[in-house]
Amino acid sequence: MGRRWKILIGVLAAIAVLLGVNALVTGAETKPAEVTEPGGRILALQGGQLQVVDRGPRGGSPIVLIHCFTCAIEWWDRMTPRLLRRHRVVAIDLLGHGGSEKPSSGYSIGNQADIVAEALNRLGVRGATVVGHSLGGSVAVALGERSPQLVERIAIVDTRSSAADEGDLGPIAALAFAPLIGDALWRIKPDFAIRGGLEVAFAPGFDVPDSFVDNVKQMTYSAYDDSAGGFDEYTGEASLAERTAATGKPLLVIMGAEEQIIDDPRAALAAYSAAVPDAQTELIDGVGHSPNVEAPARTAALILGFMQDDVQNRNAVRGRP
């Protein structure tokens, strides 16, 4: 074997060792909870420390907001004022996101739902309209499965029902989850790369806020990788549409017509309608994967209308005016 080959093999071996060490370090990284939102507070729970923002009149029917993957409470900020006029609104940072604790494990959808349930019990919230965006939609459904007394109805915002609904996120996104390589990329990710990755969460041309880039940088690689894996495992066992139907909860599904993450939003809405015949479904023109950010007034109106319609339907069944 020639000298050059020996040098090349040595370099490759060194790179492999460095990647392995980096993976061990990155995978073991944890971060404590901290208040990052105005009005936020940290709840020390058995399942971990979660940041929550709890506002609005206590007499109103409660609304619980659960954000998307790599996101945080602030993704609801443009919509929340419209909900607060008559309702108590509780926004929660999922484990591994925003100001919540970032442990080395615990990112399954079932575990996320159980910690959210613990937070809601601590806050005295019952019979809530639980609104979940993308990853948060799966947590909302799991909450309805595992703690049905806490959930009156479920609203899903751009959450794919199964892995088959996922669009093409490109080679860079795939590399971010590759063993060893993903860990290494996480260490060196520049802001422009994060911003580019977030652009698929909106309609083409949307200007991604700097604070949304910061939300990604707040995460650890374990939180990033395991949260995505938790969603795939959860929907792989049964589709979200099937799981939602099994809860028996009234359902609203909202999607943006300019979706870049869900392959065919119309087909996805149809899948939910097929599983839950009484579900309300809405396709919003001109927006992408995040109607709560891109079209907050329209999204809030749909959620409030869904709540009102459900109350009227239940009163009609009971013979009440």
Cα–Cα separations (whole angstroms), residue 117 to 25, 218, 279, 298, 303: 31, 24, 24, 28, 21
Closest C-alpha to 97, from 111, 77, 112:
112
Q: Model confidence over 5-37: pLDDT tens digits?
A: 444 343 333 333 333 434 444 446 899 999 999
Q: Model confidence over 37-81: pLDDT tens digits?
A: 999 999 999 999 999 999 999 877 999 999 999 999 999 999 999
Q: Model confidence over 241-259: pLDDT tens digits?
A: 999 999 999 999 999 999 9
Mean pLDDT score of the chain: 87
Residue 70 phi, psi dihedral angles, 5° rounding:
65, 15
Q: Please give the structure tokens belonging to residue 86.
A: 């008559």
According to DSSP, the residues that pair with 316 across neighbouring strands are: none
pLDDT confidence of residue 251? 98
pLDDT exceeds cutoff 80 at 121: yes
Q: Model confidence over 280-305: pLDDT tens digits?
A: 999 999 999 999 999 999 999 999 99
**What does the CA dihedral 307, 298, 232, 216 come to, rounded to 10 degrees?**
-120
Q: Model confidence over 84-116: pLDDT tens digits?
A: 999 999 999 999 999 999 999 999 999 999 999
Q: Please give the structure tokens belonging to residue 156.
A: 């899903």
